[in-house]
Amino acid sequence: MLVVVGSCNIDLVLRLDRAPTAGETRIARSLSLHNGGKGANQAVAASRAGAQVRLLGGLGQDPYGGRLYQALTTEGIDLSALSWSQLPTGTACIFVEDSGDNRIAIYPGANRDIPLANLETQIAGASHVLAQLEVDPQLVTAAARICRAQRITFVLNASPAAEISPELLALADILLVNAEEAAQILGASVSSAMEAAARLAQGRQAAIITLGKDGAAWANATGQGCLPAHPVAVEDSTGCGDAFAGVLVAALAAGATLPTAIARANAAAALTATALGAQDAMPSRLAIDQFLASQ
């Protein structure tokens, strides 16, 4: 079983030619609501990829919270570790540009009101725990400590870019970041993504750096590599990183080697970019298999 510790949001998505600059107003062509949040997105991605998933997160006692709960239930995700808060459900405002690029602002709400009690029970039985940084860092660190004590593989998707405590960083068995997050953690420039991955992998099982349209770089104790992205017609890149994370850990939990897991995650990210929204765009295991077979 895979446990995801992370956020649940409603995404308000505005489509427009480009995001406004400071002091500028732009007219959006459309507004749509989508289920999101890095934790929920990654849980859905992992579940559709075939993993048994439990989501540890928080929802507000409002219509958005009810909507997300119903959607996650439909995905077959174990929601026994979800908590209900007096704060509003987390909300993200996402500008999606014609290029497919996006800009996102988030109100955490209930995501920062998840109790630390019963963490050990909620994590018990997991082979892997996947966490991000849209929830309280103390919650993530507490989960990581439990994983280290119980010898559960702890995967940290250190996103969005934020200051990470040395303790949390040291507790990450597998570190997953994008290029910006990698540079922030290393605190110095590197000549290549491969070099950055190798440095981040020191003292842990592996490190993976996602590079957007340039694919992904990885390193572990036995080797390193770089996998190019699949060329696709990009509709919306919002959920690509979360698709990568969820499918990566689902594959690892199923016993795949790191290169195989990264290949599946890379394919899932490409497929996600071809549709609007985050959770709506997450591919099934069959879709990933068929896509990889066609390449």
Residues catalogued as catalytic? 242
CA angle at 254 for the pair 277 and 134, rounded to the nearest 5°: 40
Question: 225-228: long-range contacts at Cβ-Cβ below 8 A with a sequence spacing of 24 or more?
Answer: 225/194, 225/259, 225/262, 226/193, 226/194, 227/262, 227/263, 227/266
Structure tokens at 41: 């997105």
DSSP 50: T
Please enumerate, as own/partner, the contacts of 137-144 that have beta carbons within 8 Å and a separation of 24 or more: 137/162, 137/164, 137/165, 137/168, 139/5, 139/114, 140/5, 140/168, 141/165, 141/167, 141/168, 141/171, 142/116, 143/5, 143/56, 143/119, 144/168, 144/171, 144/172
Residues 208, 174 contacting (CB under 8 angstroms): yes
* Cα 135 from Cα 295, distance rounded (Å): 37
Provide the 3-class DSSP secondary structure of residue 33.
Answer: strand
